[in-house]
Structure 1
């Protein structure tokens, strides 16, 4: 943005801070030289560091999340238990940049594992419209940046139900809360922090900035099982809509993993859903099999875009999964997550119906 107006960018400040910024790739990202002679050349990033990485496409999101998980896999002792919630969180928040920020300037992500502290830190920010600009059209009573943050971390709050479900911020907040980690979110002129060392979450004023940023610091010794959160709740009415089948391989089947570049965002799911919708009229009563057996994990946004909107847009609603479309091969966590988003999507459809009670 600065370069587009002819502005020259320079960095100055404490040598230690400038060196740390160089270590995570700020100078390289901005293509500017070091501005302080006292700053030593930064060492090459180690296996525990993801340098500042631009996020402007689904492929960049996929590559960044893959790199974050690779760091955890290589460095964290109980990686298999720690990675699922980490992957979900990273996918959902990075997906927000592509879905909601509305900025021509790419967002960025960086991450670092700190073994002595047993901490995994992720920072994500964008230069978009900010939470207030995103939410206020749908929630006119939200008039300040602090109110926008409060609203954003509520489950089910989104600027447009046709675009998202509003689970990313709320779900990431839930993961950090259960982990006992630190969560910061900033937008406009305010920053909000959840920190177990502080008795209460709190807001602080800060110089105004564009867009929205979040920072997560997770305790790697306390992995969060998604099944213990509402993200993948396996109990209650939310699990009435989707039951996986065990049908044999079929010529009318679609392998979800083979059809999609990744299962971490909405774009691949949207393409597959449209393919399914185009195939269904020609199936002549034979079920279309969706094979999830090669899908080890998925973002809630992916499952909503594929299955939630498929049920929402089909006149048969949830019954589309009772015959026309059959699900097979889902692991228990993905199945529970799918049940949650399908139920939420269909409830939202009922709430928006002209015949719904006020």
Structure 2
């Protein structure tokens, strides 16, 4: 039995049992055990038992998922024993870790707006959809987000995920996971691949790099790239500046190298166990509007998500309720409608936004109040009537919305025109 930073694992035959805390400081131990079962002992049917695991985090789990996916392509099958702790059991399912490790598990049906479950991308079309999904999650969950900050965030995720497709040569593509911690106003994300890794990629064109951690240090310098024909070397530089400059951090792991950069400085070291591919585990704070764009330290150019998705349409941009939320029967599910409408009206170059209730036969009074009653109160009735359209709502839904706005504003008259 081995123990590293509260992690213990026991290997018996083809089974690895994980006990305790699995974090970014000790996940390499588990990867080494999996590697040994496959390449040294020749097992092609492996059991990963997390029943006694007490905590697990994206920065640790995404490399484990990536390794399992890569071995699956070579014919190895993994069976997963889920944690017995109910919350952790649900986390494995909701985040998609269970499905990525063990194909017999069910792919997540999570439809919340504060998380993007671990998702694989293998081409630029899938990468584009993932980046759009990240930006949509922010639009629906972060009120008062500045447009320049949204552009900086979009640039960061586009660059990091593009690096996977452009440089990594990963047989599985890449994995992305995101959590929006709205209570502390920060976004936590992880991006992982199973490719060549940063040291192996940079060393041939930079012979002055000797240690793997040196390669990571070079990778976050402005203008450093393996090949100027396929990149300008701004991706990891800008992303590291965005994370650390906003008050967050970026943790980059590749080969034997480990780099942690935050506002207080940069820590570099070599690990004993190598990591195949690259892991980027980061945190971006959005506590102060406009600070993300400043932290990026250079102007973002090119079309952004809002201009492509909402500002080029001839018709009024629509927020289709049934596509945005999982339930119209509770107050909690309505907040994304209000927040997204407010963000679009304040950030996008549009005069109006439409809330479309197509295919929605009934909503709860609390949903109507949270989505449109509060929206009318925040905008003021005159502005609400001028800038917000309600489309395809039946008579019952219209009545519930009108009553919610009237009660919220204490108005006796009909509201929706």
Q: Structure 2 length normalisation: TM-score? A: 0.51
1:65-90 deviation line (CA, Å, top 9, x unaligned): 10000010111122234312111100
State whether residues 132 and 145 of structure 1, in contact with CA within 8 Å, keep that contact through their aligned partners in structure 2: yes
Q: Identify the residue that residue 130 of structure 1 maps to in structure 2.
A: 197
State whether residues 194 and 201 of structure 1, in contact with CA within 8 Å, keep that contact through their aligned partners in structure 2: yes
Q: Per the alignment, do residues 31 and 143 of structure 1 end up closer, same or farther by CA in structure 2, a change over 3 Å counting?
A: same
Report whether the alignment pairs 1:165 with 2:236: no
2-structure distance, mates of 1:195, 1:228: 12
Q: Identify the residue that residue 210 of structure 2 maps to in structure 1.
A: 143
Q: Per the alignment, do residues 22 and 211 of structure 1 end up closer, same or farther by CA in structure 2, a change over 3 Å counting?
A: same
What displacement does 1:124 show?
0.5
Residue aligned with 2:265, SS? coil
What displacement does 1:227 show?
5.6
Report whether the alignment pairs 1:26 with 2:91: no
What displacement does 1:30 show?
4.1
1-structure distance, mates of 2:120, 2:78: 18
What displacement does 1:163 show?
0.9
Aligned length: 234
Q: Which runs of 5+ in 2 are unaligned?
A: 1-69, 310-347, 349-417
Q: Identify the residue that residue 265 of structure 2 maps to in structure 1.
A: 200
Q: Identify the residue that residue 222 of structure 1 maps to in structure 2.
A: 288
Residue aligned with 2:188, SS? strand
Q: Identify the residue that residue 118 of structure 1 maps to in structure 2.
A: 185
Residue aligned with 2:98, SS? helix
What displacement does 1:144 show?
2.0
State whether residues 191 and 206 of structure 1, in contact with CA within 8 Å, keep that contact through their aligned partners in structure 2: no
Report whether the alignment pairs 1:4 with 2:69: no
State whether residues 180 and 188 of structure 2, in contact with CA within 8 Å, keep that contact through their aligned partners in structure 1: yes
Q: Which of 230, 244, 248 does residue 177 from structure 1 map onto?
A: 244
Q: Per the alignment, do residues 107 and 232 of structure 1 end up closer, same or farther by CA in structure 2, a change over 3 Å counting?
A: same
Residue aligned with 1:2, SS? helix
1:153-198 deviation line (CA, Å, top 9, x unaligned): 00000101111110000000111122011211110123221244xx
Q: Identify the residue that residue 190 of structure 1 maps to in structure 2.
A: 257
Runs of 4+ in 1 over 4 A off after TM superposition: 12-18
Larger radius of gyration: 2
Q: Identify the residue that residue 67 of structure 1 maps to in structure 2.
A: 133
State whether residues 96 and 117 of structure 2, in contact with CA within 8 Å, keep that contact through their aligned partners in structure 1: yes
State whether residues 130 and 188 of structure 1, in contact with CA within 8 Å, keep that contact through their aligned partners in structure 2: yes
What displacement does 1:131 show?
0.4
Report whether the alignment pairs 1:87 with 2:87: no
State whether residues 127 and 212 of structure 1, in contact with CA within 8 Å, keep that contact through their aligned partners in structure 2: yes
CA RMSD, Structure 1 to Structure 2 (Å): 3.1
Q: Per the alignment, do residues 157 and 14 of structure 1 end up closer, same or farther by CA in structure 2, a change over 3 Å counting?
A: same
1-structure distance, mates of 2:296, 2:194: 30
Equivalence map 1:99-110=2 (5 Å) = 99-110=166-177
Q: Per the alignment, do residues 13 and 150 of structure 1 end up closer, same or farther by CA in structure 2, a change over 3 Å counting?
A: farther
Q: Per the alignment, do residues 58 and 221 of structure 1 end up closer, same or farther by CA in structure 2, a change over 3 Å counting?
A: same
State whether residues 178 and 189 of structure 2, in contact with CA within 8 Å, keep that contact through their aligned partners in structure 1: yes
Q: Structure 1 length normalisation: TM-score? A: 0.58
1:75-106 deviation line (CA, Å, top 9, x unaligned): 11222343121111000001101110012221
2-structure distance, mates of 1:220, 1:135: 32
State whether residues 12 and 18 of structure 1, in contact with CA within 8 Å, keep that contact through their aligned partners in structure 2: no
Residue aligned with 1:91, SS? helix
What displacement does 1:44 show?
2.8
State whether residues 101 and 128 of structure 1, in contact with CA within 8 Å, keep that contact through their aligned partners in structure 2: yes
Q: Which of 115, 134, 145 does residue 49 from structure 1 map onto?
A: 115
2-structure distance, mates of 1:19, 1:208: 30
What displacement does 1:50 show?
0.8
1:330-356 deviation line (CA, Å, top 9, x unaligned): xxxxxxxxxxxxxxxxxxxxxxxxxxx
Residue aligned with 2:231, SS? coil
What displacement does 1:31 show?
4.6
Q: Per the alignment, do residues 127 and 182 of structure 1 end up closer, same or farther by CA in structure 2, a change over 3 Å counting?
A: same
Greater per-residue strand proportion: 2
